[in-house]
Amino acid sequence: MNKQNWVFIFLIVLFQHSFAQDVPLFQKKEIINLRADGSIKSIKKKSNDSTFVTGKFQYDKGNDQWVTMPVKARVRGNYRLKNCYFPPLKLKFSKKDSKATPFEGNKTLKLVVPCKTSADKNILIRKEYLCYQFYQALSPYYFRTRLANLELTEISKKKPRTYELLTFFVEDNSMVATRGNGKVIDKKGISPGVFDEKQSLRNDFFQYMIGNADWSAVFQHNSNTLFVNGKYIPLSYDFDMAGFVNAAYSHENPPTLGTGDPRERVYRGFCKSESAMQEIRKEFLEKESVIHGIIDQHESYFAKYELKDMHDYLNEFFEILKSDSRFKSSIVESCRTN
């Protein structure tokens, strides 16, 4: 292959990589304002994991200029679908409709919404959003997110009711794969032993840090798999059951996982080499102030007791890492072998 062809291929790859990074939605941090109306009961009934329904929402372009955005949507998530009032959604955009909008470049997006209509619904969403921000600071493979205020008017036989919901968009795993020059592996049940050791540990430590037991390295529950440079990479999502979030609707952990208290940390990672575990331990300790700083960036949205609870919960994790004996008993000797 001549030099000119190599240059051409390099430019194509560079363009694709840049395009994946430059989708407008994730280039800004400001909260995007949305409006939508419809029947919650209807979308639960008419859509499923493979069936999308046609709809639309509006977004604020700025200066109170509202633009209508056609979209297809479906429900997702088995537990939330059965137990939550608001179903989490997966959105699909056409290239034509999304052109020159904040959603350009995204074929699909997840929209994380509150579970219940409780007074703390938006606080819980912001806490889950923080978990995504933590992982972004800890791993090179992460989902980008964007907060959104959603004014949702529920249409029903009764009088319409409007909810002011904090939500956030999560990019599709294919976008993460493109940014990392890898690909998505759709297969589930991949042996934990074939995953990249350090990336697995980063995910394991992170899940332990936020007190999340609602995931599985064996079945890839609440986790996607990337294949990058010959290595399998875990890519986790859905953290609303984490002890850090502390949602009242969190289900108890199975009897095999400690006391069942959803705030109790249970290390679910598989045993790895001592050198790798010590290296990731050091990485996390070096990021301690960064992780606490992410909370502080959002302090105006929380009450003082909520801020104290979040910082205290993370402090418990970092105290374990700082103590050789506690690190050994809580993580090294608690790792899974089968």
- Cα–Cα separations (whole angstroms), residue 42 to 21, 186, 205, 247: 35, 29, 40, 26
Which is higher by pLDDT, 260 or 135?
A: 135
Identify the band that residue 21 occupies on the pLDDT scale cut at 50, 70 and 90.
low
235-283 pLDDT, tens digit per residue, is 999 999 999 999 999 877 776 777 778 899 999 999 999 999 999 999 9
37 vs 153: CA distance, rounded Å: 5
Is the pLDDT reported for residue 307 higher than 50? yes
Is the pLDDT reported for residue 11 higher than 60? no
Residues of the chain above pLDDT 70, percent: 93
Which is higher by pLDDT, 124 or 76?
A: 124
In our burial notation (b when 16+ CB lie closer than 10 A, e otherwise), range 79-97 reads: bbeeebbbbbbbbebeeee
- Which domains occur in the chain, in start order? 3-174 (no CATH), 181-334 (1.10.1070)
* The pLDDT of residue 151: 98
Closest CA to 102 of 22, 188, 1: 22
171 vs 179: CA distance, rounded Å: 11
176 vs 182: CA distance, rounded Å: 8
Identify the band that residue 80 occupies on the pLDDT scale cut at 50, 70 and 90.
confident
258 vs 23: CA distance, rounded Å: 43
**Three-state DSSP class for 326?**
helix
- Cα–Cα separations (whole angstroms), residue 10 to 15, 16, 227: 9, 10, 21
The DSSP element (H or E) to which 81 belongs, if any, is helix 78-83
* The pLDDT of residue 260: 76
Average pLDDT score, the chain? 91
44 vs 85: CA distance, rounded Å: 10
* Strand residue runs (E) in the chain: 32-38, 53-60, 66-75, 89-92, 108-112, 145-154, 161-171, 183-185, 223-228, 231-236
**Three-state DSSP class for 5?**
helix
* The pLDDT of residue 253: 73
* The pLDDT of residue 37: 95
Beta strands 89-92; 108-112: pairing state: antiparallel
* The pLDDT of residue 101: 97
| Residue 184 and residue 225 in contact, taking contact as beta carbons nearer than 8 Å | yes
Q: What is the pTM of this model?
A: 0.91
* The pLDDT of residue 1: 45
Is the pLDDT reported for residue 20 higher than 70? no
* The pLDDT of residue 15: 38
